[in-house]
Structure 1
Amino acid sequence: MPTSLSHAIEDSSQETMVTSIVNEQPGHIVPNSNPTASSPSNENNQGIPHDVVHATIQPIPRRDIQNYLHQPIGKTFDIILMGSPRVGKSTLINAILYKDVAQTHAGRNACTQESSYYEYEEFYFTETEDSTTKISTNSIRIWDSPGIKDWTKLDVTEYAQDLINKKSPVCLIFCASPSTYVKLEQLKGIVKACKNLKVFIAMVVTNMYASDEADSILKLFQDTLIHHHAQPKVKENIYYYGSIGLCTQVNSINYVVGNIRKKPEGVDELMLGIMKSLSDEKLLQWCFAIQNNASFWARAQRKIWKLYSSLKHSLGY
């Protein structure tokens, strides 16, 4: 979504107000940039067409939508990353958020059992016809959990459940890549913890072009999730397992080995897949977390009708 996005919203009396999703003075704890991603073009900065927004939420009274949006946005919320060290977690989250939230090199404590987080802020304000302005500031924390190479099945389940219970995240993103450690029994423990606490899990094979092992890891993810949802749906290389989770493969940045060159692939589909799978407060929080990825919003704008339909449903319209 562009840095400043304003939508005209009409209330039942046909008066017009403006709802703005902005990031004018970020004051981010992390820089609002991402050198690993290419700069969006002017076309990509156009954002979501006004007519899409207008036609969908026109019947919603102005005051109701303002109050509803400020509730989930004006707070701190969390996204959890899990996976072994050096699997591309930081590169993936930087590509999703379109900023350098996470460092892309392994630190000295990469294999410890202590979690760290990266934090940044976004702003949302509304203005009414009486010139009253209400501003909500939300802090988004990206938790980077430790690697799981040396944990037992019991340790993984208990650790994941404790972390999820404490943070109540928007979602959990589990990453694995070719040539890195991943074990079915540990994955089962993590998925079980997510299911018990009703947190959506996205299981992602990173560095999908690195070797044919990527397909084997994806199959491992599928074997894990199918125990909880027997009839997955497949669309655009995303395997959906109901409200439990999804799995897919991505390449977060340009892949270059010798004469082989591959562009980033699958990240947009992953972002949209998570968006489609969340609802209510967590859906809005996910959208605000990724609002600065203007090129994503431009590319995905034809596919997000359901997002606004969901918003209407949440408000009872």
Structure 2
Amino acid sequence: MEEPLVDKTGEESLVVIEVKKQLYLAGPLIVGSLLQDVVQMISVMFVGHLGELALSSASIATSFAGVTGFSLLSGMSSSLDTLCGQAFGAKQHHLLGIYKQRAILVLTPVSVVVAVIWGYTGQILLFFGQDPEIAMEAGSYIRWLIPSLFVYGPLQCHVRFLQTQNMVLPVMLSSGVTALNHILVCWLLVYKLGLGNKGAALANTISYLTNVSILALYIRLSPSCKSTWTGLSTEAFRDILGFLRLAVPSALMVCWEWWSFELLVLVSGFLPNPKLEASVLSISLNTISLVFRVPYGLSAAIR
């Protein structure tokens, strides 16, 4: 038997109340995650106006970066959903700030390792048989993307720190400001300064830095975070292995899902016309990624 929308007293049922709560959280989560995701897409769109080779190499580089770096950092930081969520539910609010600091400490050396791998992207792609021209251009693009690694990890930690406290509006607004700013940054670097695809890659770092700076200021100044952020603490250096025991499985879950999409772009480089095929497939998968943000936001709201 279906649950009535209102009970006998005329008040809303628990189901309706819960649905409203879920939508209140899910809406900003959907928009916020979409706006975060659109940053790299905007960069690739600007590169697309530079020619077929520039677009295909940036697409391959972005997919390689997603497979080897961004998916790993996003997955490891997702362990904060569990740690911070449990601490917040248990009213041990000070632990949220410690967990956030610990996650950033762990993600930094991981980013160093990934940066070394990215430095040899061109040679790696050549080794696996990618088109030489695309491989070299992709290697150049991703080297300019390396600084974004060291900003993307802390950004994901800040986002999850706030989301586990149901503070979804600041994340959405910050991501919105960043996305709008990213268009201007790309235009300045790509066209006005003449950096081409290198400027589009560098623009990611600037925009991620803008986003994390806004969130860090909000956490530092907002009364809402007074109990969860109590400043830097040496406790962040403790139980690193305990954090890794949760972060590694979390990373694997996210990576398997992410790789299933990004590997398609990498494989497209083996097709007869790799410049065209990689470009078309990248545009298609980026569109699918935007649609995917709707169920992602809905599922994130129930965590």
Instruction: Give the TM-score normalised by structure 1.
Output: 0.24
Q: Say which structure is richer in helix.
A: 2
Higher relative contact order (CA 8 A, sep 6+): 2
Q: Say which structure is richer in strand.
A: 1
Instruction: Give the TM-score normalised by structure 2.
Output: 0.24
